[in-house]
């Protein structure tokens, strides 16, 4: 098989890139190790920046997003009895949209056959070869048979554990990482949200987040030590803890219900440089991980895809090699700013095990400043809705 761009990974990043390239008449093939049902079963983020919404609009795949997505004009920071509302729409003129990553993936997946985007599911033992040449290729096994795809470029959209990043020589790379001493225990339930906007809460017992996927489906989180086991957290225990950490006003509006999904996700900040090596371009979690505080993961993947599609289109349409050469620097400039925002919001809203009275006093002072400063709120709002691409 021969194609112009071989895309590894059929999550939202890989599918989005595939659709953008096909719309420009560029041949591509998407490879995915898992089945479609498995891919759709991944419960992930649900707050979309304008860049992500705009890409779906450009593709004409935004009908369900516009019909079912919840447009959010602000969010809240809670600290004990205090609720600080960040009026995102008034401060920036922009909004975010609550629409699950699973739903974005479904929209992209469903449109692939009609748009002529080939997606090969069940591709096992994927390996990248000759990425430092102008003729890279990918090998894999499908239904027990060896397969081979020749390409001009490979796009690694295969997440943190995929083979793409690992194909780059260690001598050519730098890694930056911060592992946090806690994880987020998340519960998804078919109950109405306790507030029409997100609430990030800093409580003496720990962090909590009240979020939603729709008017009838809620997503909540509490932070827990990495030693905790999910089986020790009954639904009732999670709801009880949420009621305490979110404060009395939010607790009064919590509707309890059985969990559809419940899991513990460790938190880390991670960046891999460069995001391009030879004929390989990395996008999304293959190159960087952000803590979920601030909902940057999917949106960073979308901005990577925007830059990658722009660079690849320039190459194939105009023989422009400069955009390919500049892809990594351009993408990383936005990545690092988003990493900074997610790190700072995580530091502000969580109680770290090693923190003492001084660190807590700094959190209180920062929240006091945010509550009384339009400039501070504007800075937070600008980062929350997403910096320009």
Note the pLDDT tens digit of each residue in 52-79: 999 999 999 999 999 999 999 999 999 8
Compute the average pLDDT of residues 4-14: 97
Task: Evaluate if residue 44 carries a pLDDT over 90.
Answer: no
**Burial tier of 202 (Cβ tally within 10 Å: 0-12, 13-18, 19+):** buried
| Residue 349: band (very low, low, confident or very high) from pLDDT cuts 50, 70, 90 | very high
List phi, psi (to 5°) of 91: -80, -30
| Residue 43: band (very low, low, confident or very high) from pLDDT cuts 50, 70, 90 | low
How much is the pLDDT for 217?
92
Q: What token pair was written down for 40? A: 């759709």
From the centroid of its chain, how far is CA 197? 19
- Euclidean distance between CA atoms 382 and 91, whole angstroms: 8
Match 């962090």 to its residue by tokens.
207
Task: Evaluate if residue 45 carries a pLDDT over 80.
Answer: no
Compute the average pLDDT of residues 180-202: 96
Question: What pTM does this model have?
Answer: 0.94
- Mode of pairing for the β-strands spanning 206-212 and 199-203: antiparallel
Q: Please name which of 269, 251, 274 lies closest in space to residue 199, comparing C-alpha atoms.
A: 251
Q: What token pair was written down for 319? A: 């023989």
Residue by residue, DSSP assigns 220-256 as EEEEEETT--GGG--HHHHHHHHHHHH-HHHHTTPPP
- Euclidean distance between CA atoms 119 and 121, whole angstroms: 6
| Helix 12-23 and helix 101-115, axial crossing angle in degrees, nearest 10 | 40
Note the pLDDT tens digit of each residue in 360-389: 999 999 999 999 999 999 999 999 999 999
DSSP conformational letter for 136: -
Question: For the stretch 100-119, what's the b/e string if a residue is b when 16 or more beta carbons lie within 10 angstroms of its beta carbon?
Answer: bbbbbbbbbbeebeeeebbb
Note the pLDDT tens digit of each residue in 255-287: 999 999 999 999 999 999 999 999 999 999 999
- Euclidean distance between CA atoms 313 and 315, whole angstroms: 5
How far CA 165 is from CA of 104, 127, 149, 265, 346, in Å, comes to 24, 11, 18, 22, 26
Note the pLDDT tens digit of each residue in 96-143: 999 988 999 999 999 999 999 999 999 999 999 999 999 999 999 999
């Amino acid at each position: 098989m021969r194609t112009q761009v071989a895309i590894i990974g059929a999550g939202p990043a890989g599918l989005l890139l595939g659709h953008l390239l096909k719309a420009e008449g560029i041949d591509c093939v998407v490879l995915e190790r898992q089945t479609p049902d498995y891919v759709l079963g991944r419960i992930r983020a649900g707050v979309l920046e304008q860049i992500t919404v705009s890409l779906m609009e450009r593709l004409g795949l935004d009908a369900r997003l516009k019909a079912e997505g919840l447009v959010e004009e602000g969010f809240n920071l809670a600290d004990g009895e205090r609720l600080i509302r960040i009026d995102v729409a008034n401060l920036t003129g922009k909004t975010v949209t609550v629409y699950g990553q699973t739903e974005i993936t479904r929209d992209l997946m469903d449109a692939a056959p009609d748009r002529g985007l080939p997606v090969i599911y069940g591709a096992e033992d994927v390996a990248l070869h000759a990425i430092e040449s102008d003729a890279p290729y990918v090998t894999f096994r499908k239904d027990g048979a060896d397969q081979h795809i020749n390409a001009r470029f490979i796009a690694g959209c295969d997440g943190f554990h995929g083979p793409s990043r690992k194909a780059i020589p260690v001598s050519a790379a730098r890694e930056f990482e911060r592992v946090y001493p806690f994880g987020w225990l998340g519960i998804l339930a078919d109950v109405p949200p306790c507030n029409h906007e997100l609430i990030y809460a800093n409580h003496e017992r720990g962090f909590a987040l009240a979020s939603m996927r729709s008017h009838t489906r809620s997503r909540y989180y509490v932070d827990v030590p990495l030693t905790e086991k999910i089986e020790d957290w009954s639904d009732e225990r999670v709801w009880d803890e949420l009621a305490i950490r979110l404060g009395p006003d939010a607790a009064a509006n919590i509707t309890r219900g059985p969990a559809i999904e419940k899991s513990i996700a460790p938190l880390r900040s991670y960046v891999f440089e460069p995001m391009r090596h030879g004929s390989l371009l990395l996008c999304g979690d293959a190159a960087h991980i952000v803590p979920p505080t601030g909902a940057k993961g999917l949106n960073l993947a979308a901005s990577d895809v925007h830059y990658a599609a722009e660079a690849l289109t320039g190459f194939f349409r105009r023989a422009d090699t400069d955009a390919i050469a500049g892809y990594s620097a351009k993408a990383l400039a936005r990545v690092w700013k988003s990493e900074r925002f997610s790190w700072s919001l995580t530091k502000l809203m969580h109680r770290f095990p090693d923190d003492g009275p001084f660190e807590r006093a700094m959190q209180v002072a920062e929240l006091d400043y945010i509550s009384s400063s339009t400039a501070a709120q504007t800075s937070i709002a600008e980062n929350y809705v997403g910096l320009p691409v």
